[in-house]
Amino acid sequence: MRGLTRAAKRAGEMAFNAGGGTVNWFPGHMAAASRAIRDRLKLADLVIEVRDARIPLSSANEDLQPVLSAKRRILALSKKDLANPNIMNRWLNHFESCKKDCISINAHSSSSVNQLLGLAELKLKEAILKEPTLLIMVVGVPNVGKSALINSIHRIANSRFPVNDKIKRATVGPLPGVTQDIAGYKIASQPSIYVLDTPGVLVPSIPDMETGLKLALTGAVKDSVVGEERIAKYLLSILNIRKTPLHWERLLHRREELHEEICSLNENDSRDSLRRRRVNNSDAVYVQVLSLISKSNE
């Protein structure tokens, strides 16, 4: 994690951390939901805590950690398709060293969600034999993919254990705060297993501005709460720290080379040949650069 520490230090020197002030976004529904979640947690047989794989520490609700640590828990690092796989594997090793069951997932991938269900079944192995009804709670900060995960679990479970009840879908959306009420969904019978989708809940006040900026960049906090200009500056500072402009410079250089190559083609070259050469080269550049600049980490 040495490179991450250097990046955090550089960002701190840019005043995104020290003296940046607190981030406050705690709507009324969030306060009510926080109380309701604490009450339901007492009854839960298993808790799936969903965090953003790109910011696995910043996307934890610190207020709930004492309660969650006392329960059967799985840490699900969601949106793994958006995270740097090398860094993410180091986070998985970190949580494993802390004796925490952790798995990275893509909530829209059946194979990924099946792996999570396999781990959940293992954690509930004894309870399944003893209890007629089991309750699984899915918790996390806003917009980390809880409802998308719920829908995938429900779809997979219904294909395995068809039930007569009409399938309900959890509401999902690109902005934080879509889910505002706790909703229960039956996913299996004998024993009856219910999964609870909960609203995303933050701490009432985020004292660390950089944490707030990370949450805003990943969609857990509304942009207007932190400030669009501040978010843009923070993103640019991170890109500069990671030398991303060098990748853009390389892209520009490659495009210039490609343009010169196309201009130098003989007039007798067929249109199909021209199109083929342009698509192959530009696509290669596009994919290469996107893979470099789109992967973010904690």
Do 193 and 51 sit in the same domain of this protein?
yes
Contact 146/179 with Cβ under 8 angstroms?
yes
Residue 183: closest CA among 165, 193, 198: 198
227 annotated as a binding-site residue: no
Taking the complete model, does pTM exceed 0.85, yes or no? no
What is the per-residue pLDDT across 213-253, written as a single tens digit (0 to 9) for each?
899 999 888 888 888 888 888 888 887 777 766 666 666 67
Do 171 and 266 sit in the same domain of this protein?
no
Domain assignment of residue 87, yes or no? yes
Do 188 and 249 sit in the same domain of this protein?
no
What is the C-alpha separation between 82 and 85, in angstroms, rounded?
Answer: 9
Residues 6 or more apart in contact with residue 100 via CB below 8 angstroms = 73, 75
Q: Are strands 73-78 and 102-104 parallel, antiparallel or unpaired?
A: parallel
Expressed in percent and rounded to 5, the helix, strand and coil fractions of the chain are: 50, 15, 35
To the nearest whole number, what is the mean pLDDT of the chain? Answer: 76
Do 198 and 158 sit in the same domain of this protein?
yes
Find the DSSP H helices in 200-270. 209-217, 223-226, 228-241, 244-263
* Phi–psi pair at 253, nearest 5 degrees: -65, -45
Domain assignment of residue 173, yes or no? yes
What is the per-residue pLDDT across 74-97, written as a single tens digit (0 to 9) for each?
999 999 999 988 899 999 999 999
Query: Can you give the residue range of the structural domain that contains 267?
Result: 209-216+222-293
Give the sign of the dihedral formed by CA 3, CA 240, CA 145, CA 181.
positive
Do 45 and 191 sit in the same domain of this protein?
yes
Contact 27/142 with Cβ under 8 angstroms?
no
User: Which of 151, 171, 204 delimits the end of a domain?
Assistant: 204
**Residue 187 or residue 69, greater confidence:** 69
- What percent of the chain is predicted at pLDDT more than 70? 65
What is the C-alpha separation between 264 and 248, in angstroms, rounded?
Answer: 24
Do 54 and 196 sit in the same domain of this protein?
yes
How confident is the model at residue 137, as a pLDDT?
94
**Residue 272 or residue 25, greater confidence:** 25
Q: Token digits for 181?
A: 């009420």
